Structure formats: C-alpha cells, structure tokens
Amino acid sequence: MKKIIGIALVLAVIGSLAFGSAALAADPTEVDVSWDGAGIVDGSVTAGDDAYSHFHSEGAYQVGEYHAVDQNDNPYTYGVDTCTFSLEAALDGPGYAELYNLRTDTLSGVVGQESYAYVGIADGSATLQNRTNTNYDRLKDCCYGWHVSDHITVSGATLYTIERYMSSVPYLGGIPTSNYASLWASGSGDVDLDCMSSEASAGQVRLGWGCGCGPYSAYDGFSADGTGQLVLSAWGNTSATTAAMPSLTGAQSFTIIASWVNQPFTLADYYITAN
C-alpha cells in the first residue's frame, strides 16, 4: 500500500499516519510527502510496533520530500519489520527542519534507539538530508549511495543552529542515561556538515561512521565560515572516544568545545563512538 501526498504553496500541513498490519507480508507500506512553497509541514508515522518517525519543515520558502517505508518483511521471523525513513529539505529563513526516528521493537535487549538531525536559521538558506533504517538488530543512518555529503548546510545566516545525535535509549534532552553521541553548532555565516553513516544499538552508538562504512574522513567532516561555536559531546556506558581528539582514552564521557571568530573553521574528522 502506498500513500502519496503532494503539497504546493503550503500554508500549513500537520498530520499523523499509522501503519497497521499488512495483508501480505511481502507488500511494503509506504508514505511519500512532497512540498513546494511557504509555510509549515509537520507529520509523524508510526510503523506498527516497530518504529516511529517525526519530521518538520518550515520557512519563508521551502521544497522537500519525506518518505517512510515499512517493508512488512519480518526477516528471520523475529517479529520485527525493516523500516526506512528519509527527509530532504531546503528552506529560506526564518525556519527550521528536523527529522527524528525511534526504534520501538527488537529481537532482544533494549529498544529506544534514536536518530536526530536539525537545522534552524534566522535568515539565509539551509538544507537537511538524512535517512534512517531500523530492523530487529539496530537503528542505522546509512546515506551511502544516496547522499554521501552535505547532510546539513547553512548559507548566509546571521544566526543558525544545527544538531545531530544518536542515542541508545530515548534522550529527550537533559543528562544522557546510556550511550549517546552529539554534535551541536551555532553561529553566523556558513556551515557544511558531512555525516554519511551513523548507527545505534543497545550496546553502542556511532556518530559519523557505521553501516559497515569507514570511518572515511571525506564523509564525516565539519566546516564553517564566519563566527560560531562547535560542541562535541558523548557519554558511554563504559567509554567514549572521538577522532577530534585521538589522545582521549579511558574516558566515560567528554565535551569538546571549539570557537571561531570571523574566519573559516574546519574539523576534518569528528566521528564518535560511545559504548
């Protein structure tokens, strides 16, 4: 079953969709939403008891697409379907875009793995693109072969904020209670974040690498021009490491802050592991 929603000259679209059980196990259930115009697009998808996804996009002008697929495949008869959620959004400020995905079923162990991507701007322009896959084993953001770079960008903004995190259990702000990895930045000017692959299971999270790929320095970099601040943080059940500071060993958590003023800033590798 496939649902297609096309929106032109958006004023406001807010909705929620739920996937029930499919009549045929091999028949995927899909939702496709596309928009072009000004206003707000906000929606959520519940894929049975397997996964939940929420997306939002708004701006003075914006174009975008959101796709959700529940494969209804129940691989290995584990009782957990494979699901995929993706968002591609481009907007002019003021506005923001975000994609939140949550794994809610598993073969064994702990559920609640999260992926989150966000960009907000006061003016200028921005893009966000991310794709998440959930299954019986873990949650993965695998963008190889889809968009390998430029996963969050900002151009010409007097104020912007971006955020990207992965978590083993629902984070919901505050203090992490299990494996967690985050990249946050705010400032003015331009930004380009590459985050081709990330993944989260009950026992480990990786931000900036995973899905059997890498880590590749060409696809997990951060660059900015103007003035701003970058914060890398992680908390692990036993340890947390990052390519931004290879000498950091034996730590259970860390917070690394970098600032720049009226100049370019580049961090070639930042990938984080917490376990």
pLDDT tens track for 128-178: 999 999 988 889 998 777 777 789 999 999 999 999 999 998 776 667 778
| pTM, full prediction | 0.89
Average pLDDT, the chain: 87
Residue 66 lies in a domain: no
Is 7 a residue whose pLDDT tops 90? no
Residue 204 lies in a domain: yes
Least confident of 72-81, 91-100, 119-128, 206-215: 206-215
Q: Higher pLDDT residue, 217 or 107?
A: 107
pLDDT of residue 249: 87
**What residues contact residue 157 under an 8 Å CB cut-off, 6+ apart?**
93, 121, 122, 123, 124, 125, 126, 188, 189, 190
Count: domains in the chain: 1
pLDDT of residue 22: 40
Cα(first)–Cα(last) distance of the chain, in Å? 39
Residue 234 lies in a domain: yes
Kindly state the DSSP code that residue 136 receives in the 8-state scheme: S
Sequence letter at residue 151: H
CA 76-169-219 angle, to 5 degrees, is 80
pLDDT of residue 146: 76
Is 62 a residue whose pLDDT tops 70? yes
* CB atoms inside a 10 Å sphere around CB 119: 28
Residue 31 lies in a domain: no
Residue 114 lies in a domain: yes
The CA-based diameter of the chain, rounded to the nearest angstrom, is 59
Least confident of 84-98, 172-186, 201-215, 242-256: 201-215
Distance between CA atoms of residues 213 and 84, nearest Å: 18
Sequence letter at residue 189: G
Distance between CA atoms of residues 110 and 138, nearest Å: 10
pLDDT of residue 2: 53
In 3-state terms, what secondary structure has residue 112? coil
Residue 29 lies in a domain: no
Distance between CA atoms of residues 86 and 68, nearest Å: 7
Is 4 a residue whose pLDDT tops 70? no
Sequence letter at residue 192: D
pLDDT of residue 274: 96
Residue 269 lies in a domain: yes
Residue 163 lies in a domain: yes
Q: Higher pLDDT residue, 14 or 122?
A: 122
User: Please, which pLDDT band fits residue 78 given cuts at 50, 70 and 90?
Assistant: confident
CA torsion, ordered 35, 37, 43, 47, to nearest 10 deg = 10
> What domain range includes position 116?
81-274
User: Please, which pLDDT band fits residue 182 given cuts at 50, 70 and 90?
Assistant: very high
Residues in the chain: 275
Sequence letter at residue 109: G
Least confident of 32-36, 114-118, 140-144: 140-144
